[in-house]
Every structure is written in structure tokens, then in C-alpha cells.
Copies of this chain bind each other. A is one copy, B any other.
Amino acid sequence: MSPRIVEVRRNVLAKNDALAARLRRTFAAAGTCVISLVASPGAGKTALLAETLRSLRSRRRAAAVVGDLATENDAARLRESGAPVRQITTGTVCHLDAEMVGRALEGWDLASLDCLFIENVGNLVCPAAYDLGEDVRAVLLSVTEGEDKPLKYPVIFNGADLAVITKTDLIGPAGYDEALARRYLDAVRPGLEVLRVSAKTGEGMPAWLARVEAALVQKRTAGLRA
């Protein structure tokens, strides 16, 4: 990259960090736990989120903000859960940033939400650099993408709090080698927490939902201590 682009990029990220820090304070004041999902296109972000919102419905007040270049399809699909959902369409922009998230939240009473999910644009590269003020960043990785994605896209795995292996129902047909995938994950990010789910069969959903619940409780406890 040319020095000029490097400088512009540094300024953009500094501005984003400042806006993300402000969002983080807003979320903390409201006691809202924020969980973001990053992944390749078609890794199953929306399917996991739809199941999650449906499961949380009876006991938690959850909402979602979802990013795509075009269409309102994901928001429409997620609204079937009954949860409030807003779509951010980015046009040609390859990631969400804190400013887009802040704008999408305008008019929402965050204090009425236990949990907010942010689904990023499908991209294993660009979202890595943009803090969205979230408490937990989960990187999803479908078994059909192959075992080596952590090696090839290390930055996004280094910035995540949690990896979620998705579409485990396709392990057999895809010929996915779970032990190898774990070795690659460990090589890039030793000790990273890893869950495995199939939104289609429900396998692994209880552990994922327990992880979400733990994040909510932690946020609430931190709020009471503050």
C-alpha cells in the first residue's frame, strides 16, 4: 500500500475506534450485551441467528442489526422470530463500522434490550479491523469451507473471542477433518474457545445458547458492580 493509503486507513481506523468506544459506553450504561458474528458469505450467520432469536424469545429481550451490501432479505428472515431487526445495506462497502451501527440503533431504547446481535457483511478479511463496541465477537466457519481458513485468514481469527464451527450436519458429505481443523485453529490462535453447531439439526445449539446466556449474565453483573 502507498504511504498515502496507509495514512488514510490509519485515520479511518482511529475514528472508528473512537466511535466504537462511545458505543461500548452506551451499551454498558444500558446493560445490553452485544455479540457480533463475522464469517464468509454463506457460512450460516443468519441461520444461526434466526435459531438464536427464536430460542431466546421466551426469556430474553433480544434484537439484531444485520449488514449486507444489498437486499433486506436477512432482516426479513430474522424478523420471523418476532425480535426487532434492522438492516444496514452497505452498497459496495465490505464491512460494518461503528458509525453504521450507531446510526442503525438511533431511536432504539437499548435499556429495554438484554442482548443485541450484530451480523457483519459476509467477509473474512475486512471486518477484522473494525471494532463495533461489541462484548463478544464470534467468528463462524462452516465445515464446507475446508479446514484451512484460520491459516489463510489469520487476522480475523486473532481478533475473535470465540470460533463457531457451523453446518456440522455436513461434516460427512463434505469430508471435513475436525481434528485437522482444530490443529489449524490452535496454530493461529492457541486456546481460542471453539463451539460447533448445526442450525439445521440443532446439534450444539444448547452449548451456543448457554454461551450467549453466560455473556448476558456477565454483562449484567459488570453493570451492577459499576
Contacts and interface: CB of A to CB of B under 8 A. Distances in A.
Contacts of A92: 125, 128-129, 155
Interface residues of A, number: 45
A189 interface: no
| Total copies of the chain | 2
A174 B70 CA distance: 24
A200 B173 CA distance: 11
Given A41-B145, A149-B42, A93 B1 contact: yes
B73 A148 contact: yes
Given A94-B126, A170-B173, A174-B170, A41 B149 contact: yes
Nearest to A142: B144
B153 A41 contact: yes
A41 B151 CA distance: 12
A42 B144 contact: yes
B8 A151 contact: no
A69 B142 CA distance: 19
Contacts of A155: 69, 92
A46 B151 CA distance: 15
Interface in A121-168: 121-126, 128-129, 142, 144-146, 148-149, 151-155, 167
A12 interface: yes
B125 A94 contact: yes
Contact of A151 (B71, B151, B167): B71
Interface in A37-58: 40-43
B124 A122 contact: yes
A14 to B, nearest CB: 13
A114 interface: no
A128 to B, nearest CB: 8
B8 A153 contact: no
A224 interface: no
Given A123-B94, A154-B69, A146 B8 contact: no
A69 B123 contact: no
A5 interface: yes
A153 B40 contact: no
A69 to B, nearest CB: 6
